[in-house]
A and B are shown apart, each in its own frame.
Chain A
Amino acid sequence: MTQIIQYIQSYLGSDQTPGAAGNMFWALVYIMLVFAGLSVAVIAMNWLERKILAHMQVRLGPMRVGPHGLLQPIADAIKLLLKEDIMPAEADGFVFWMAPFIVVLAAFTVFVVVPFGPTHAITDMNIGILFMLGVSSLSVLGIVMAGWASNSHYPLIGALRSSAQMVSYEVAMGLAVVSAVLMTSLNAEGTGTLSMIGIVQAQLAQGEWFIFKFFPLGLIAFFIFAVAMVAETNRAPFDLAEAESELTAGFHTEYSGFRWSLFFLAEYSAMIAVSSIAVTLWLGGWLRPFPNLLHNATWDLVFSLFPGVTFLLFAAMCFYNAVRMPKHPLFRIQTIGLAGFGVVLGLIGLVLFVPAVSLRVQDVFWFAAKVAGFMYMYIWYRGTFPRYRFDQLMQMGWKVLLPMGLGVLILTASVALLQQRIWHP
């Protein structure tokens, strides 16, 4: 018994990830935390996407289930779980059954290496970014399998479009990633790293986020990645694989109930995964703004207040809307519920002001805040851009992004060489 407790305690105070320290218990705890956090994030995204899209189109969005439709995702989940699970008679049973699992597995496995903080990652791999790109590229297999196994025309066309699109944009995406990885090698030893934690530490050591490095080269590489990642996740304006107006629902037309919800889960968690790649490579991962420039005790204190203040703002929003609720007996429960939600958020905010907590959580907060920015952009794209035609999509991938990526890569390498050889010999 004491041995087990010692084993559990031995990781506390370590400055490594649980995977690197080889501690199974904490690795499992981190896996469960990441899984729970992702599920909550997907549920929140479901609600936010519908609300934000609705407000962009001057609608109200879900308003019926719970205050401001806050309980709508839960109602949806219950509906999906209770729905009949239909398999087409002519479908290829085994492949049809496997496809959603492969998509979900690929989308969730990548989070093994995502660095939420210097020690807040499940593990750190020597090939971190390569692992993320590789495993997330496996999800296209699931999509192709789903489309083919449905034995139906629209899913097959959707799967073909999706695989062609993902394979072509992977190339541009890879080139953008390589030019960021190249920047990590600008240190005294001259060796770069593929490890996700190493990439963020390189940004800390060089004193700037890679998006601002060799301006505008870092920015262009980031732009290429930002376009390619929308195409990789099959989201608007590149959502040809599930274009509702042309292909009903694309590759998952024949799926229903729980299996469909797996595709949904995988789509959103893949969006979070590629956003965290972008945040890690170009936006400094868990680093707070100006970690080197504003580095003294006062600024550390100021920035450590941010997580708590954010939650207090959310709580204030809840209270404001609770006050604005219609004063009618029918709305009493909803008003009380919204106020209660505000109280919970406020309490979380207050807990985050405790120095011991905020010290551990602020890395995760900054990472999550940056990823949340990307998620908002996803919804914004969907609300504003019209869908690309397929030939435009291919032209964009092969004739615009790929040459741009090659050019940026060569220019980054040349500038880095010049900097090392001439300016700092």
Chain B
Amino acid sequence: MAPVATPFFFYLFAAIMLIGGILVITRKNPVHSALALIVTLLAQASVYLMLYAPFVAGVQIILYAGGIMVLFLFVIMLVSIDRSIRERQFNSQWVVGLIAAVALGGLFIAVYMKGMSVFPEHALSVIENDNTQNVASMLYGQYMFPFEIASLLLLVAIIGAVVMAKKRI
């Protein structure tokens, strides 16, 4: 099968992600921001697909784009848009912002300079057709304990939500 992971598609999806991400923070209307975030998440799923990880891409679409973002929109839709548009959008914390930007920029430059040696070019060793099966055997074999810890964490969150929502238990 011909490879689909061409640089063209990578740049396309990366550009969509970046534009979406910028729109998320610059739109005044929160619904538009949420929609831009959905575009970003979908482009991210496409990048996972290009990395021959279809299972992760599918889960990304189901959980983030189809589940979490719908709940986001659900809440945002009930917000008064006229009032939220008049709210101040950016915090003017110049010092923190500058430090974060410099640190992130430094990281990017370091990766760009040293990336070739840190992430050596690799022939693809995993077969796309076994991705789901590989993820399953990793999660339930080698990484069983961390996986169960994560599920325990989610259980705690669920109980917390129930306790907070219910007046009388």
Contacts and interface: CB of A to CB of B under 8 A. Distances in A.
| Pairing of A with B | yes
B61 A141 contact: no
A415 to B, nearest CB: 19
Contacts of A144: 70, 73-74, 77
Contacts of A141: 38, 65-66, 69-70, 73
B61 A163 contact: no
A394 to B, nearest CB: 14
Contact of A138 (B59, B65, B130, B132): B65
A22 interface: yes
B62 A133 contact: yes
B155 to A, nearest CB: 14
Contacts of B18: none
Nearest to A125: B54
A126 B66 contact: no
Contacts of B65: 134, 137-138, 141
B69 A137 contact: no
A159 B128 CA distance: 38
A20 B128 CA distance: 12
Given A130-B59, A134-B62, A135-B61, A92 B73 contact: no
Contacts of B74: 144, 160, 163-164
A377 B115 CA distance: 58
30 contacts: A92-B29, A95-B31, A95-B35, A126-B54, A126-B129, A126-B130, A126-B131, A127-B55, A127-B57, A130-B58, A130-B59, A130-B132, A131-B54, A131-B61, A137-B61, A137-B62, A137-B65, A137-B70, A138-B66, A140-B70, A141-B65, A141-B66, A141-B69, A144-B70, A145-B35, A145-B73, A156-B77, A159-B77, A170-B67, A194-B132
Contacts of B77: 144, 147-148, 156, 159-160
Contacts of A22: 1-2
B92 interface: no
Contacts of A163: 70, 73-74
Interface string B114-134: 000000000000001111110
Interface in A129-187: 130-131, 133-135, 137-138, 140-141, 144-145, 147-148, 156, 159-160, 163-164, 166-167, 170
